[in-house]
């Protein structure tokens, strides 16, 4: 089985760029694809396919691993797909993870084709106990890296043709179905702005490996019971027309993303207080 290349940065693609073959179809002269279809054996099963890329910048080359659609595949649980991805990132030494996806608007002031950069989340999934090891206590303050969020906003304000929101609360639910109107109303009362299905457990796993994590999300529909019923045709049009510009935004963000960190993301994991208990159980 092939070895995982050392990489400082990672890109996880979601539904908003699924229709685009990134980076090949957006013709960026500073991006070189070194290898594709990379599959790794992990403790949680075979990983999804990764691409290994080099970004040419004035400050030197940046090495990047990317995968599509959050690693979700038929026959693989979303929990295992997430663990496979972040196990690979850990082996690669990834320090910063950039993600994207499509979300539904709960806040009635949002519209389809808006971009949101979440600053916090609520986890209504049942995938709570998803980790790589039992070594760390994860502090979920500033769960989305403030430094990365500021950079995403700066790039989005330059590159995106529509509205961009630098704060939002993302509520995570299980798929693959959409939510009921009653569920959306509950999330609205709780203060959520958008709903999606990918941020958790990724945000926990990123913190577990000591990596910064942040994302930009395309509003692709109104959530059930908000403003008007979503239309499948409009959803399809957004997916197939906006992916190219969003892809360019993502790679420009990666191009500007510094390797150095002034945030506290890596310090917001602590050695577990249950270490002695785990060791006693392991030793019988």
Q: What is the pLDDT of residues 194-239, one digit of tens each?
A: 999 999 999 999 999 999 999 999 999 999 999 988 677 777 777 7
Residue 135: CB atoms within 10 Å: 14
- Mean pLDDT of the region 175-180: 87
Q: What is the CATH number of domain 9-282?
A: 3.40.50.1580
How confident is the model at residue 228, as a pLDDT?
83
How confident is the model at residue 134, as a pLDDT?
82
The DSSP letter of residue 272 is -
CA distance 84 to 111: 34
- The model carries a pTM of 0.94
How confident is the model at residue 1, as a pLDDT?
52
How confident is the model at residue 40, as a pLDDT?
97
Residues 197 and 131 sit within 8 Å (Cβ to Cβ):
no
How confident is the model at residue 129, as a pLDDT?
76
CA distance 168 to 145: 14
Residue 139 predicted with pLDDT over 70 = yes
Q: What is the pLDDT of residues 44-92, one digit of tens each?
A: 999 999 999 999 998 899 999 999 999 999 999 999 999 999 999 999 9
Residue 282 predicted with pLDDT over 60 = no
């Amino acid at each position: 089985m092939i070895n995982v290349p050392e990489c400082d940065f990672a890109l996880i693609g979601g539904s908003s760029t699924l229709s685009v073959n990134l980076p090949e179809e957006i013709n960026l002269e500073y991006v070189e694809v070194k290898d594709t279809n990379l599959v790794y054996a992990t403790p949680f099963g075979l990983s999804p396919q990764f691409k290994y890329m080099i970004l040419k910048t004035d400050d030197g080359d940046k090495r990047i691993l990317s995968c599509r659609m959050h690693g979700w595949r038929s026959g693989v649980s979303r929990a295992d797909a997430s663990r496979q991805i972040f196990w690979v990132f850990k082996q690669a030494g990834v320090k910063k993870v950039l993600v994207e996806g499509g979300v539904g608007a709960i806040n009635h002031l949002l519209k389809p084709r808006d971009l949101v950069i979440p600053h916090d989340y609520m986890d209504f999934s049942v995938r709570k106990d998803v980790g790589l090891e039992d070594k760390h206590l994860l502090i979920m303050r500033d769960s989305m890296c403030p430094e990365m969020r500021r950079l995403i906003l700066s790039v989005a304000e330059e590159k995106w043709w529509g509205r961009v929101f630098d704060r939002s609360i993302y509520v995570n639910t299980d798929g693959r179905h959409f939510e009921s109107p009653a569920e959306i109303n509950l999330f609205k009362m709780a203060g959520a702005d958008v709903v999606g299905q990918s941020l958790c457990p990724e945000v926990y796993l990123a913190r577990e490996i000591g990596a910064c994590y942040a994302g930009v999300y395309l509003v692709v529909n109104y959530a059930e019971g908000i403003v008007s019923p979503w239309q499948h045709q409009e959803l399809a049009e957004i997916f197939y027309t906006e992916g190219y510009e969003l892809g360019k935004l993502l790679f420009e963000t990666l191009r500007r993303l510094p390797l150095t960190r002034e945030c506290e993301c890596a310090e917001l994991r602590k050695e577990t207080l249950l270490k002695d208990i785990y060791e006693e159980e392991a030793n019988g």
